[in-house]
C-alpha cells in the first residue's frame, strides 16, 4: 500500500475493541504503510477531520501491550448513521475529500451491525463514483449478533465477565441459607439477541449450580409463566438467581422495560435505550410474593471489564484488525473480516473476508435448538459453542492498585 490508512471505532465499546486497533496498526507497519491515522469518535469525528496519528502512541511495543489492556474505545466512538446517498452526496464527498487530503487509501471501521452499514454505504458510493479508496469492516460487538462470522470480538470477554459475575452473585445469594430465599434478578445487555444473556449459563460448574432461569429475547416473555416459575423456585430453593435480557418483550411487542417507563430514549438508528427490566421484575415479584428481591443491572460493567477479558477474545480481536489490513493490501474492499471456526477440540479459528452486503444491518439470534424446551435455559450445544471463547486471561498492568490504561492526549 503506497498511501496512508485510517481506522475508526464505532458503536458500543467492548473490552477488546482496542486490540483490533492494535492489530490494524501492527499489520500496517508490517507491510510498510506510512501513516496510520485514528478517527477521533468514528466517522462523525472524521467528517470534522478529527484524527490522531497512532505512531504517537504505539511506536513502542509497550504502547500496543497497554492498548490491549485498555477498555472502551481508545479513539472514541460514535453512533452515527450515514444518511441515504440521494440528496446527501455532500456528506459522502466530504469523506473522500478528507481521505484525499491525507492521502488515505483505505478506511477500516470496527463495529457491529450499524457500523457495518457505514462500510457498506461508503464502499457502494466509491464503486458508483469510480473512487479508488477501499473500505473494510472489522467485526466488534458484545451482542455477538453479526451474521456470517462464527462469533464477534468483544463477545467472549463480556461473556466471561457475565459468567464470572453470575457465579459470584450466586455465591453471595446462597450464603444466607434462609428459609425464604432472596430472589435476585440480573439484567444483561444484548438488545434483541440473547447471546450475552445466554452466557449466564457458563456460570454453572462442579462448584456452582448456575443460574436458576435464563430469559432471552428470542422467546416471547410470559409474565404469568415467569411468576409461576419464581414461586416454584422460591418453594424449593434457598437461593434464586435469574438472568434476564434487557430486550425481553411481551406478546404485543413491548419491551418489559417499557412497562415501567413508556418514554424510552431512542438513538440515531432507532434503537430504544433499554434499562430497568430487572428493577421492574424484582418489584413485581416482591409485590406478588412478599419475598426479598434484588435487581442487578450489569450495564456498562459487562462491556468495559478489560481486567477480566478473555485472552482468546483479545487475540482474535487483534487478528481481525490485522487481517483486514492484509485483505485491503490484496485489493479487497466492501468486506468484513469473519471468524471461521475450524474445530472445537482443540478450538481453532481462522479468518476470511466476506461481502459487507450480507452483513450490514442483519441481526443473528441465538439458534432455537440451543434454548431448552421450557424457554428459560440453554443446553449443551450453547456451552460447546461459547466455552472456548472465554478461555485465557491477560493480566492488567496495575499502578497504584488499579489497572493502568492508554489514553489519548
Binder of ligand F6P out of 175, 273, 348, 361 (CB under 6 A): 273
Is 135:107 a contact under the CB 8 Å cutoff? yes
Smallest distance from the beta carbon of 105 to ligand F6P, in angstroms?
29
For the chain, the first-to-last Cα distance in angstroms comes to: 28
- Cα separation, 347 vs 352, whole angstroms: 17
**13-32 binders of ligand F6P (CB under 6 A):** none
CB proximity list for 232: less than 8 A, separation 6 or greater: none
36 versus 309: smaller Cβ distance to ligand F6P: 309
β-strand pairing of 398-399 with 293-297:
unpaired
Q: Judged by CB under 6 A, how many residues of this single chain contact ligand F6P?
A: 14
CB of 48 to ligand F6P, least distance (A): 20
Per-residue 3-state assignment (H helix, E strand, C coil) for 138-163: EECCCCCCCCCCCCCCCHHHHHHHHH
Q: What mask, x for binding ligand F6P by CB under 6 A, covers residues 56 to 85?
A: -----------------------x------
Residues in region 136-195 near ligand F6P by CB under 6 A: 141-143, 189-191
Footprint on residues 282-341 left by ligand F6P (CB under 6 A):
303
Dist. CA 298–CA 163, nearest whole Å: 12
> Taking the complex as a whole, how short is the minimal distance between the CB of residue 162 and ligand F6P, in angstroms?
12
Closest residue to bound ligand F6P by CB: 12
Residues 6+ apart with CB under 8 A from 343: none
Q: How far is Cα of residue 141 from the mean position of the Cα atoms in its chain?
A: 3
Which are the catalytic amino acids? 143
| Cβ closest to ligand F6P, residue 17 vs residue 183 | 17
Task: Give the residue with the Cβ less far from ligand F6P, 189 or 320.
Answer: 189
Nearer to ligand F6P, 192 or 319 (CB): 192
Task: Specify the residue, 105 or 143, whose C-beta has the smaller distance to ligand F6P.
Answer: 143
**In this structure, are residues 143 and 159 in contact, taking their beta carbons and an 8 Å threshold?**
no
User: Which residues in the 94-113 window bind ligand F6P by CB under 6 A?
Assistant: 112
52 near ligand F6P, rule: CB under 6 A: no
Q: Which is nearer to ligand F6P, 69 or 303 (CB)?
A: 303
Least gap, CB of 180 to ligand F6P (angstroms): 34
Among 8, 11, 45, 137, binds ligand F6P (CB under 6 A): 11
Identity of the residue, 27 or 339, whose beta carbon is nearer to ligand F6P in the bound complex: 339
For residue 320 the three cell numbers come to 481481525
Say if residues 344 and 388 touch (Cβ distance below 8 Å): yes
CB of 271 to ligand F6P, least distance (A): 7
We find the least distance from the C-beta atom of residue 409 to ligand F6P, in angstroms, to be 25
- Residue choice 166, 256, 274, 308 for contact with ligand F6P (CB under 6 A): 274
| Closest approach of ligand F6P to the CB of residue 144, in Å | 10
3 state SS for 158-189: HHHHHHHHHHHHHHHHCCCCCCCCCEEEEEEC
Point out which residues bind ligand F6P (CB under 6 A).
11-12, 79, 112, 141-143, 189-191, 267, 273-274, 303
Amino acid at each position: 500500500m503506497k498511501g496512508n490508512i485510517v481506522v475508526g471505532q464505532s458503536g458500543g465499546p467492548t473490552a477488546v475493541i482496542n486490540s483490533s486497533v492494535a492489530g490494524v496498526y501492527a499489520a500496517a507497519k508490517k507491510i510498510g504503510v506510512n501513516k496510520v491515522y485514528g478517527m477521533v469518535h468514528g466517522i462523525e469525528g472524521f467528517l470534522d477531520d478529527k484524527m490522531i496519528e497512532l505512531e504517537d502512541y504505539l511506536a513502542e511495543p509497550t504502547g500496543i501491550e497497554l492498548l490491549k489492556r485498555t477498555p472502551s474505545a481508545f479513539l472514541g466512538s460514535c453512533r452515527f448513521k450515514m444518511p441515504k446517498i440521494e440528496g446527501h452526496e455532500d456528506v459522502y464527498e466530504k469523506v473522500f475529500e478528507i481521505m484525499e487530503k491525507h492521502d488515505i487509501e483505505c478506511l477500516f471501521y470496527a463495529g457491529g451491525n450499524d457500523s457495518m452499514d457505514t462500510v457498506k454505504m461508503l464502499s457502494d458510493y466509491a464503486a458508483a463514483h469510480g473512487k479508488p479508496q477501499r473500505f473494510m469492516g472489522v467485526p466488534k460487538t458484545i451482542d455477538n449478533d453479526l451474521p456470517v462470522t462464527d462469533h464477534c470480538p468483544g463477545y467472549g470477554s463480556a461473556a466471561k465477565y457475565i459468567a464470572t459475575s453470575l457465579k459470584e452473585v450466586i455465591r453471595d445469594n446462597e450464603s444466607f441459607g434462609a428459609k425464604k430465599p432472596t430472589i435476585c434478578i440480573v439484567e444483561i445487555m444484548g438488545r434483541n439477541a440473547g447471546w450475552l444473556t445466554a452466557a449466564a449459563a457458563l456460570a454453572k460448574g462442579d462448584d456452582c449450580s448456575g443460574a436458576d432461569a435464563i430469559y432471552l429475547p428470542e422467546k416471547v416473555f410470559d409474565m404469568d409463566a415467569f411468576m409461576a416459575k419464581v414461586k416454584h423456585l422460591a418453594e424449593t430453593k434457598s437461593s434464586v438467581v435469574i438472568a434476564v435480557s434487557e430486550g425481553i418483550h411481551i406478546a404485543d411487542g413491548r419491551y418489559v422495560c417499557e412497562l415501567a417507563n413508556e418514554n424510552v430514549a431512542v438513538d440515531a438508528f432507532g434503537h430504544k435505550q433499554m434499562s430497568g427490566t430487572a428493577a421492574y421484575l424484582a418489584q413485581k415479584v416482591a409485590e406478588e410474593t412478599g419475598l426479598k428481591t434484588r435487581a442487578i443491572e450489569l450495564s456498562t460493567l459487562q462491556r468495559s471489564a478489560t481486567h477480566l477479558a478473555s485472552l482468546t477474545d483479545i487475540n482474535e480481536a487483534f487478528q481481525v484488525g490485522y487481517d483486514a489490513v492484509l485483505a485491503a493490501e490484496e485489493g479487497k474492499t466492501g468486506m468484513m473480516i469473519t471468524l471461521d471456526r475450524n474445530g472445537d477440540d482443540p478450538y481453532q479459528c481462522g479468518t476470511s473476508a466476506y461481502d459487507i452486503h450480507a452483513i450490514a444491518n442483519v441481526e443473528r439470534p441465538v439458534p432455537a435448538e440451543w434454548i431448552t424446551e421450557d424457554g428459560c435455559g440453554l443446553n449443551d450445544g450453547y456451552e460447546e459453542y461459547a466455552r472456548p471463547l472465554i478461555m485465557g486471561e491477560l493480566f492488567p498492568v496495575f499502578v497504584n492498585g488499579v489497572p493502568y490504561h492508554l489514553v489519548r492526549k
